[in-house]
Amino acid sequence: MLIFPLYDRVLVGTSDIKIDHPDEVRCTDEESDYFIGMVERVFPPIKVRRATIVFQFTGVRPLGRSGAKTTGQQARSVVVKWLSGDWTKSCNSPSFRLVGGKWTSFRAFSSR
């Protein structure tokens, strides 16, 4: 769980829910309630309500196959695989597969 200031707002996240169909992923009411409850638990004077949420987003973190029972037990290593393409040819942009990592390490991951 992370809670940190973002300009004049607060960014709260993240959840870790297994999904079967990435095209159907969205922020659920249960996730919103969980985050609201966590903010109130950590900062009791702050009263968060759904009406105070100004933006929600969701994404999918692709994880490699693993024998781990939970995602928390899974290795946090990252894999970048070049699939196709070449920057030297016009209209043939490279295509990559990015697997693993953590949301908090995305900048280091992207520089690879």
Q: Is the pTM of this model over 0.85?
A: no
pLDDT of residue 71: 74
Task: Flag whether pLDDT at 42 surpasses 70.
Answer: yes
- The DSSP result for 47-77, as a single string, is ---GGG----------------SSGGGS---
pLDDT at 37: 94
Sketch the domain layout of the chain as residue ranges.
Answer: 2-52, 72-111
List, for residues 54-74, the tens digit of each pLDDT value: 888 887 777 777 788 887 777
Contact 4, 11 (CB under 8 A): yes
